[in-house]
Structure 1
Amino acid sequence: MSMLPFWEVCLVCTNNLNHVNNANIQSQLEQLPVMAQASPAQLFNTSWTLHRLSPLHHGKDCETILNNPTALKVYATRLRDQLTGDVLAGLHASATTAENDVLSKAGALKNCQWLSISTEPQPNEQAAFPGILITLEYENITYKAALLAEPEAETRTDGHREGTTSLPLLLTKFPSALRQTFLSFLSANFDTYCSTLHLPSSFLCSGMESFIQSLRSTGSRATANDNTVEEVVKDLQITLAFSQSIAPALRSLNVNISRTSLKQFLSVDSGKSKGRTLEQKLSSPFIPNLTSYLETHLAMKLDLDGSATQGAERHVRLSKVACAAFALGVDGRMKLTVADQVDDDDGITPTQRACEILLQATIRKAVIGNQAAT
């Protein structure tokens, strides 16, 4: 039997050992836990209260908080300690009877979790919403909040100082007393200023038109597109608010538009094309047609888009828009409803695409509000 030279034997043994070590390392890497992240889908199908936040200062604790599970765990622990510590007595003391009933029915706090929102492409998800999702899991209910940043492409030239993070839009799903405690926590830990994000009539108007326009651009035939609008929006309700000087006894008026009437308002612009810009003429004709209809049949001159500065129009404004797919209010409330079914070539439903466009517009609105305040 032939014998291998000593050096060849050593080489073979070394190669086998390296192969074993590499296999072990690969096995260990595969077994490492993946960083837990929240799905952007958790931003939908929830009624939110909107706030705008000034930049968060966290330099004394960490360099960054986005995609930093260690830092997020620290802040989650701090918030949990605050909610389960002595502040709990103060929380109940400051709450109304109804709010105390809500808090008592929630039960004990079981878990407080801060997770970065995933920006990696997910099945049936198109847009990325970098930010942080906060969940407070009680025995009988789960409350949540989300701090959202601008889309990545728009924040590459962000001029904020090191040790700060811009998360301009805050969404909360909390009872009032718990919300105030949470906002106080953000202020104390991040030296950030928070205020309600009021949405002007012009934003409700442009948001409604961009939503409808997104639905109408999903197919190649106008008739099919309008059918999509009818199926997604269903019945549409708009709420008109009146100036107290002209209608002291009338605070609001609801106008319901049935799904069978939507197509008539989506036809070619029939009454308000004069004086509109080219960009307005190329957009959905829904708002000008609706304005023309109400003026003709109800003798009401409306300022739906908030552009009027004088005349009767400035006394009537749009204060809320609600349908099966979304709800927006000037009081800073929003809900975007996305169904589970997939019916588009890229796995994104027309409803989801339209809701993502509307949420991105809301984030930009918060950014503009922060810039105007500085």
Structure 2
Amino acid sequence: MAQTSSSELFNTSWTLHRLSPLHHGKDCETLLDNSTALKVYATRLRDQLTGDVLAGLHASATVADNDGLSKTGALRQCHWLQITTDSSSDQHASFPGILVRLEYENITYKAALLADPEKDSRSGDRREGSTSLPLLLTKFPAALRQTFISFLSANFDAYCSSLRLPPSFLCSGMESFIAGLRGTGSRGSAIGIIEETIKDLQLTLSFSTSIAPELRSLNVNIPRSSLNDFLKEDSGNSKARKLKQKSRSPFIPNLSSYLENHLAMKLDMDGSAQTQGAERHVRLSKVACSAFVLGSDGRMKLSVSEQSEDDEDISPSQRASEILLQTTIQRAILGGQTTT
């Protein structure tokens, strides 16, 4: 069976989508672990992209889109590949799913359809004739993305919607990543790993036009040398201790307390409080650092350094990235704030 490594999921800037179950009973009983079915759908997608559909796409696209698509060259290969783990080591998280790779003359685009790792590992969880792949990641230009989504709808009767990430998820995702790094060793070594992996952290705060018509966003930069101060369990502030009871990590409570005390910015960063007044008009819209990027607009990138083939121990950044990706899959399953 044609397979690819789960490492394809890292070091790529993805656009996130929620995807309803794929219904394929008219063609095959199963989709995962079925090389024949994957070849069939790869052929169908290739034919659609090289046929009249693409001609119509060019006709309806803007000049800028046409220029961008023309630079790709001709489509050479279309692959649908089963995603496997990188190693036999049980330290690696399993991300069952399908990678779609479109190889043009001058560039390669790709998409990933990911299953719930926990459900997929249980026998009898899949329904005959349909497969649940709730998280769709795409690395496509807009016109090609729409064509691919239309293909999924026509062939699998599937509904696709953008996966927006609210401030609560940005905070919990950041905390889960930090928690993954903190669990890699002793306190002293963990602090060094966190600083080396995250480096400088940038938080983007977005403002409602009703209270700040000329200020759309504000970046808060936290240098690596200050990360340890925000990770202290007891900051000495009673309000931070109170917020800590609702959080898995002291980072967000300590940061919120710091912004309020030193910058007079009273923020409900994770949306957990019943906010009033101006607090409702300021929200966390992006978290970016050397290791990952999460945006409320449904963008994500997980940066993982390459490892030697002989090294079975995964790096702390990969372990934390896998945790964050699993959290994102759960977000897609649970739903929430989505738009078409």
Match of 1:136 among 102, 116, 126: 102
- CA deviations 1:59-115 (Å, max 9, x no partner) are 000001101010000000000000000111111123222221111110000000001
Larger radius of gyration: 1
**Alpha-carbon separation, structure 2, partners of 1:154 and 1:75:** 21
Secondary structure at 1:295's aligned position in 2? helix
Do residues 241 (structure 1) and 206 (structure 2) align?
yes
SS in 2 for 1:162: coil
Residues of 2 paired with 1:171 and 1:110: CA distance?
A: 22
Q: TM-score, normalised by structure 1?
A: 0.84
Aligned equivalent of 2:329: 363
Q: Structure 2: how far apart are the matches of 1:161 and 1:145?
A: 24
Find out whether 1:48 has 2:14 as its counterpart.
yes
Whichever residue aligns with residue 172 of structure 2, its letter is S
CA contact (8 A) 1:66 1:132 kept: yes
The question of whether the paired residues in 2 share the 8 Å contact of 1:233 and 1:324 is answered with yes
Match of 2:240 among 270, 273, 290: 273
Question: Which residue does the alignment assign to 1:262?
Answer: 227
Alpha-carbon distance in 1 for matches of 2:307, 2:79: 29
Determine helix, strand or coil for the equivalent of 2:266: coil
Q: CA RMSD in A?
A: 2.2
> Aligned with 1:263: secondary structure?
helix
Whether contact under 8 Å (1:168, 1:370) holds in the other structure is no
Gaps of 5+ in 2: none
Aligned match of 1:26: none
Give the equivalent residue in structure 2 for 1:228.
Answer: 193
1:154 and 1:133 map into 2 onto residues whose CA distance is: 16
Higher relative contact order by CA 8 Å / sep ≥ 6: 1 or 2? 2
State the percentage of identical aligned residues: 70
User: How many residue pairs were aligned?
Assistant: 334
The CA deviation at 1:223 is 2.1
For residues 353 and 153 of structure 1, what CA distance do their matches in structure 2 show? 20
1:46-195 counterparts in 2 under 5 A? 46-119=12-85, 121-122=87-88, 126-153=92-119, 156=122, 161-195=127-161
Partner of 2:268: 303
Aligned-pair CA distance for 1:313: 2.0
More helix by share: 1
Letter in 2 for 1:223: G
Identify unmatched segments of 5+ residues in structure 1.
1-34
SS in 1 for 2:27: coil
Residue range with higher mean Cα deviation, 132-141 or 243-252: 243-252
Deviation at 1:185, TM superposition (A): 0.3
1: CA distance, partners of 2:51 / 2:320: 42
Tell me the distance in 1 between the aligned counterparts of 2:245 and 2:275.
Answer: 24
1:278 Cα deviation after fit: 4.3
Shift of the 263–274 alpha-carbon distance from structure 1 to 2, 3 Å rule, reads closer
Q: Shift of the alpha carbon at 1:159?
A: 6.4
